[in-house]
Structure 1
Amino acid sequence: QVSQTRVSEVATPHEGGWGWMIVAGCFLATICIRAVTRCVSMFFVEFQLHFEKDYSTTAWIYSLVDSPPSPLGSFLGHRLSCRATVTLGGLLSSAGLVLSSVASSLEHLYISMGILTGIGFALSYTPSVAMVGRYFSDRKALAYGIALSGNGIGTFILAPAVQLLIERYSWRGALLVLGGFVSNLCVCGALMRPLGSKEDSGLTEAKQLDPHKFDDTDSPSTEALLDTKTSFSRRFLPKEFGFLLLPDFLFLSVSLLFLAYGCSTPVVYLVPYALSVGVGYREAAFLMSIFGVSGIVGNITFGWITDRKFLRSYRMLTYMVAIAMEGLCCMCLPLLNSFSLLVTFSMIYGYFDGAYVALIPVVTSDVVGPTYMTCALGVVYFLHAAPYLVSPPLGGWFVDKTGNYAATFFISGTSFMFSAVLLAAAMLVKRCQRNKSSTVWHACLFSNGLVAPIQEKPDQ
């Protein structure tokens, strides 16, 4: 009993303390990874002009840098440590950007900036995000909102800074400076102090509150659901990937594929589209800054709101609303042809972008439970990144063929909408199944004389 108490003291989420340093480390990692990735779109025109390539060919750089295998980061973080994995990722990504500054061809950039930097980002991002979930439970959504707001703050600061660096030192000098900046991921890794041993964390996490499954707060826990599939799981899946058998996670995974396809295109083509309608270079960079500031507000407000007890069971619904609003914004973007209208788009789209980014790890934890959080995040971010490999080049292909951005943005908006509709259908099916099971159970009890029949209300 004494040993179990000591385990609990070591591994139970502290809801503060060093956990806020973990949040700070994840915040800095998000700036170095997500914000820098977004700023890659500002090099788009520079690469296109320097190497004299079309939209589709140039867009592969962004695709590669943002779509490496995130499960690799979760696997190494689980086998080694989050601290070592984040530090290794920082070294690789920094080296990739430095090597990109001396690139002599687009193929060189594919390898250095796309593959090397992309793998480094994948190694650093997933473990740093997963560590926040280990230190927080009751204030998990708020902690994630603050940590992932680095995405917006970093974009707000880096977008004009990168544009200034490009003007002063060309794209080569800008990449060299970014390579030095990204090396701060090693500092982030140093902050990732483990909460306890792997065995302690697993024991304690398994004893936490059951996660909410969509909006059904009475659903059985992840562990209970997996117990019914134990023989199948042991035969075909490693223990840490048993969550792949959960129907809720399968629906979430499929919806993420459509979500990821939709969300990459506006980030890549917002600046080129703004330039195509007559907006200046600095004003176009300012759009990215506005996008980032709105993302900060979305991160923190949605994180705080969904941490309220009366709204925790509606996190998935909130996530769906944010996705649907993103899709609506994308569909309207081809109609906006002035700087003031594009500023409005950046504010609204950025706000809901920050909302869904902050809620992805939260709803994932609600679906799979804290026990499988690290590995599940690796799979989720891999599924989120996989469509990035094809969506920017495909969007560029539509631009090359049609001569405008309408088809590219409309398809992205449709993809957002389908992602939200798929989750809504899953919630509706689950609600119907629960009501049907409740009715059958009540009928069984009534047939045995244990309860009274259900009285229907008379028509008014």
Structure 2
Amino acid sequence: MARAVRLSTRQGWMVVAGAFGVMFATFGAAYSFSVFFTSLQQTFGASRGEVSLIFSIAIPLYYVVGAMSGPIADRFGSRLTCLSGVAIGGAGLIFAAHADALWQVYLGFGLGMGLGIGFSFVPSLAAVQRWFVRRRGLASGIAVSGIGLGTLVVPPIATELISSLGWRNAWIVLGLFIILFGGIAALFTDNSPERRGASADGGIIGPHAAGGPSTVEGFGLREAVTSRAFVLLYLALVVIWIGASIPFVHLVPYAEDYGLTHGTAVVIFGLIGVGSLAGRFALGGLADRLGRRKLLIAMFVGLALAQLWWLASIAAWQLALFALVFGACYGGFVALYPSITVDYFGPRNASGILGLLYTGGAAGSFVGPKLAGDLFDRFGSYAVSIGIGAASALIAVILMTLASKPISAKS
């Protein structure tokens, strides 16, 4: 019995490790986009709005496709779904590297990376929710910290690759990395502990397990999406992503506009990853004790304050402080959302519900980067778009305050 419990616990943490690796590879490559911004502008003679559209296509697809990949993973398993995702994402990046026109980059990076992450992010993250209850916030925080570490590590590597190989070959290297490293990590994802004779938090199912076979509880998809809690969680994601998506495209160009070197700007951008790691690790476990909903509201407040600080930031130290605080709050809310979703609706249809919920993020993230690029092209400044992002975060605070407390966990 004790050996079976240890094995079940180990399997759960291997699923966390697999999700971590998938997110490290895919999001690390995707969030290095800002490093390629200037090269793409110069190669294709494009405006900031036109280049921003590449990322504005990719991010919404993460979440729109998640609405499909979640139910697919619930039916066919997260491993196959994630393997498909990393293959599509890596191939898309390699295709974009051979582009002769900007529309081909829209297809390769925008569509390819969007589909790739869409088929790997939600299934891998939802799989973690099925293996944990008491430590769900901690497990989710560790899994999504792969995004933070990828944001910290991959952009500087991409910068060196661009310097030595050119931006096209840099994308080929990153595409192969997604396929190989991400593919290996995807093999460890598993969204069915019951099939392995296990249950959440190291429990086991079988003739000698106390209580016998367990039934996975939770809302049906229709019941969940028609609830007031779902609507408020959904709208909060829409508005928070308007501002949260802007720095991933425009922070490096913003820093360069104020006279900082490209290398310094990339280092500052990497601090988003540092803050994100801290937010995902520290806040995930803290939320299990203090209440996930309350801490989510605090993260939204922090994002609003960080963006107000960004409005007045022109020096390197000011932008570095913004990147750290923004990263921590961004990482915190991304880590908390899957767990809060299961708190409200249960684990039975976690992939499907989370996938549908994340389409709200698609709408906001489509608006943010492209809007910021277009407003810069018109006014020569990011001030209006940053102000819109701060206001959107405050609206998200109001929406989550109106949401009722989840009944399955601390709020």
TM-score by length of 1: 0.80
AA of the residue aligned to 1:268 = V
Q: CA distance change for structure 1 residues 394 and 199 in 2, over 3 Å: closer, same or farther?
A: farther
Q: Which residue of the partner structure matches residue 148 of structure 2?
A: 152
Q: RMSD between aligned alpha carbons? A: 2.5
Q: Which residue of the partner structure matches residue 394 of structure 1?
A: 371
- Post-superposition shift, 1:71? 1.1
- Aligned partners of 1:127 and 1:425: how far apart in 2? 29
- Aligned partners of 2:357 and 2:161: how far apart in 1? 34
AA of the residue aligned to 1:326 = L
Percent identity of equivalent pairs: 28
Q: Which residue of the partner structure matches residue 161 of structure 2?
A: 165
Partners of 1:13 and 1:137 within 8 A in 2 = no
Partners of 2:26 and 2:86 within 8 A in 1 = no
Per chain length, whose mean CA-contact separation is higher, i.e. which structure has more relative contact order (CA < 8 Å, sep 6+)? Answer: 2
Question: Does 2:178 correspond to 1:185?
Answer: no
Alignment of 1:30-69 (within 5 A): 30-68=23-61, 69=64
Q: Which residue of the partner structure matches residue 115 of structure 1?
A: 111
AA of the residue aligned to 1:364 = T
AA of the residue aligned to 2:245 = S
Q: CA distance change for structure 1 residues 113 and 200 in 2, over 3 Å: closer, same or farther?
A: same
- Aligned partners of 2:304 and 2:371: how far apart in 1? 18
AA of the residue aligned to 2:396 = S
- Aligned partners of 2:346 and 2:313: how far apart in 1? 42
Q: Which residue of the partner structure matches residue 406 of structure 1?
A: 383
- Post-superposition shift, 1:98? 0.8
Which of 315, 318, 321 aligns to 2:298? It is 321
CA shift digits 1:406-454 (9 cap, x unpaired): 11111111111111112113359x9xxxxxxxxxxxxxxxxxxxxxxxx
Which of 241, 246, 249 aligns to 2:227? It is 246
- Post-superposition shift, 1:132? 0.5
Q: Which residue of the partner structure matches residue 14 of structure 2?
A: 21
CA shift digits 1:121-172 (9 cap, x unpaired): 1001111001101111111101111111111111111121111111111110
Question: Does 2:258 correspond to 1:277?
Answer: yes
Partners of 1:23 and 1:143 within 8 A in 2 = yes
Alignment of 1:37-436 (within 5 A): 37-68=30-61, 69=64, 70-183=66-179, 184-193=181-190, 194-197=192-195, 204=214, 206-207=216-217, 223=219, 239-308=220-289, 311=290, 314-427=291-404
Superposed structure 1 runs of 4+ greater than 6 Å apart: 12-15, 198-203
Q: What SS class does the counterpart of residue 31 from structure 2 fall into?
A: helix
- Post-superposition shift, 1:189? 2.0
Q: CA distance change for structure 1 residues 190 and 241 in 2, over 3 Å: closer, same or farther?
A: farther
Specify the structure having the higher radius of gyration (Cα): 1
AA of the residue aligned to 1:192 = T
Q: CA distance change for structure 1 residues 255 and 17 in 2, over 3 Å: closer, same or farther?
A: same
- Aligned partners of 1:13 and 1:302: how far apart in 2? 26
- Aligned partners of 2:214 and 2:231: how far apart in 1? 26
- Aligned partners of 1:395 and 1:283: how far apart in 2? 22
- Post-superposition shift, 1:294? 1.3
Q: Which residue of the partner structure matches residue 409 of structure 2?
A: none
- Aligned partners of 2:77 and 2:371: how far apart in 1? 37
TM-score by length of 2: 0.89
AA of the residue aligned to 1:195 = P
- Post-superposition shift, 1:240? 3.7
Q: How many residues align?
A: 389
Q: CA distance change for structure 1 residues 204 and 374 in 2, over 3 Å: closer, same or farther?
A: farther
Unaligned runs of 5+ in 1: 1-5, 208-221, 224-238, 431-460
